[in-house]
A and B are shown apart, each in its own frame.
Chain A
Amino acid sequence: MKTLTRFFGMLVACLALLGWVGFGTVQALAEDAASAKPETVAAAPGVTAAADAHVHAADGHAHAAGEGKNLLREIGLRYLTAYMFCLSICVGALFLLFIHHLFDASWSVPIRRVVEQMAALLFPWMLILLIPILLLQRQIYPWLSIDPAGDHSLEVKRALFNVPTFNILLPLLVASWGLIAHTFRKWSIAQDKDGAAIWTRKARVLAAVGIFYFAFSLTLGCIYLMKSLQHQFFSTMYGVYYFAGSVWTALITVWVVTLWLKIKGPLSQVIHQRQIQDVGVWFFAFTVFYAYIHFSQYFLIWNAALPEETFWYVNREQGSWKWVGFTILFGHFFVPFLVLLNQDVKMNPAIMVPMCGWAWLMHFVDMTYNIMPTYGPLKMGPQVSFWDPLFWFGMLALLGFFFLRNFRSAAPYPLRDPRLKEAITHHVIPAPGAAAHH
């Protein structure tokens, strides 16, 4: 009964979020209709629109280049970079939970508690870490201080891009992911006590409903957090672009953390070669998926050559930012792709542990590529400052501490999951020579 109430509560919350956005859109459309009436027919709408777009492209450029040096703004943006990196690991882990339950997977049962604890960091920690971004919002997001009446691209997007919606929706999004992650974890821990299959069943229903909400809400979340830094930009692939990089980063993190916990002891009995290899295979798949998505975003924008889209990449081809782009192309795709092509590599810690460091660096570079070109003169290229490692490692250390604390508070793996036996007894073949002595 309690879970039913909770389920309906979540449903209502999701509907409220959608309603809020829907209401805003309707209102915006109504205002558009009202403001369109007094105007007589424009002489050449096509030309006006094109000119408008050019103005905005230049506008975006001016904003990006002309914000000037401002310590608070710099701190805000560098903090945001670290935040987006850490959020990646948490939402990536949440996605792995959805997939585990949707496919009724057995192989991933032994690693599931690790993933649950990682995703559970979304609440309250990622929500608390969001506070500085909300406090510095005027510094970080120029659009919050622009009057939509004088900015066409902001005007047409004002259903989402307005101060109250931003301030209400953004914390709600992060909190809702946290709520879902905590629900998964709570049911999983409840199953440790009674071993009842109902918990698995419930989690599957939540995953089936939640994956749709997750897709929309993650897109919305990264539109607010990253894309709105240059609010004139359009890209329908932006959400899936952040998602692909997030799951990629989360997978290699899970690989290293599970191996470490296996060596350290808590998971030594349940993690076998199979789990390690399959997470590695999954990481390899997302290496390709990320490249596919980022190439598609670039290629479509390049091919269509619409100024309101191209300015975003034109900004990022100024000065040495161009080389950051190439670093992502080669370092985020070609290097991991070629290294991981061989099957055995995916089980080799001597390669996979350095690969984790490399993937973290590349994802951080990717986040920097999205965020930092909006600060300072583009010609200067990327500027590394001591704030970067401070926020990045500081946030990771904080989250790592709370991860370990969470991990110790419950069993290290789902003790009585109906699929656990299947996961750990599969593929137990004596090595050559072992059977000969019988």
Chain B
Amino acid sequence: MSASVARPHGLLAEFETPADVMNAAIRCRDAGFTKWDVYTPFPIHGMDEAMGVKKSPVGWFTFVGGVTGFFTGMTMIWFMNKFDYPLVVGGKPLFTPLYAFPVSYELTILLGAFATLFGMLFLNRLPRLYNPLLKVERFKRASNDRFFVCIEAADPKYAPEATREFLADQCHAMAVETVEE
């Protein structure tokens, strides 16, 4: 792709305070944008509601992972101690869920945690090796003392001029700049 026809990635708006970016997020949410995000140096309480972010489906990954772990533990011990290598220990039955429980419980946690982590990465399309925002000079302060909103060009409501005006006038951004792909 030649440099002269670089496609825009989106519009990046800069804000000075958490309150400003929170108000901007509420306006973006209510304006009906769907492909946009907020970048802040630290978590801001209430940002999820301000952005209208729905509940994450990552819990379902955790649930499936946990259930898998529990039954893996139970069947593993049942198979090993009842069939593969039957061994009486302390006069206890060859299999009972009782002594298989601590192991199954640990596996519930382990596979539940794995499923949570990998489910989160999957849902966020991570790891991602490139993000156009990283080449913007002012965006470096997103990890220090500035707050940003980026509306992507892929958003159906995105219009280069109208969105720029929306961010500058209605959201009161300090600065708005076009980010190239």
Query: Is the pairing of A and B real?
Result: yes
Q: Is residue B59 within 8 Å, beta carbon to beta carbon, of the partner chain?
A: yes
Interface segment, one of B9-17, B24-32, B135-143: B24-32
**Looking at chain B's contact residues, is the secondary structure mostly helix, strand, loop, or mixed?**
helix
Chain B positions near chain A (C-beta within 8 angstroms): 22-23, 26-27, 29-31, 45-46, 49-50, 52, 55, 59, 63, 90-92, 98-99, 101-102
Given contacts A434-B30, A435-B26, 17 further A-B contacts (CB under 8 A): A295-B101, A302-B98, A303-B99, A305-B91, A426-B45, A427-B46, A428-B46, A429-B22, A429-B46, A429-B50, A430-B26, A432-B30, A432-B52, A435-B27, A436-B27, A436-B30, A436-B31
Chain A residues within 8 Å of B, Cβ to Cβ = 295, 298-299, 302-303, 305, 341-344, 426-430, 432-436
- Min distance, Cβ B2 to any Cβ of chain A, angstroms: 41
How many residue pairs, one in A and one in B, have C-beta atoms under 8 Å apart?
A: 42
B30 and A429 within 8 A (CB)? no
Residues of A within 8 A of B29 (CB): 432
Lowest 5 CB-CB distances: which A-B pairs, in order?
A429-B49, A436-B30, A435-B26, A429-B46, A427-B46
| CB-based nearest B residue for A429 | B49
Which of B49, B52, B63: most chain A CB closer than 10 A? B49
For B59, the chain A residues whose CB sits under 8 A away are: 341-343
Assembly CA distance A298 to B102 (angstroms): 13
Closest residue to A427 on the B side, CB-wise? B46
Task: Sample 27 A-B pairs with CB under 8 A, ordered by A number.
Answer: A298-B98, A299-B98, A299-B99, A299-B101, A303-B90, A303-B92, A303-B99, A341-B59, A341-B63, A342-B59, A343-B55, A343-B59, A344-B55, A426-B46, A427-B46, A427-B49, A429-B22, A429-B26, A429-B50, A430-B26, A432-B29, A432-B30, A433-B30, A434-B30, A435-B30, A436-B30, A436-B31
- With the chains together, A302 CA to B22 CA distance in Å? 56
List of B residues within 8 angstroms of A343 by Cβ: 55, 59
Distance A342 CA – B59 CA, assembled complex (angstroms):
9
Which residues of A lie under 8 Å from residue B52 when comparing CB positions?
432
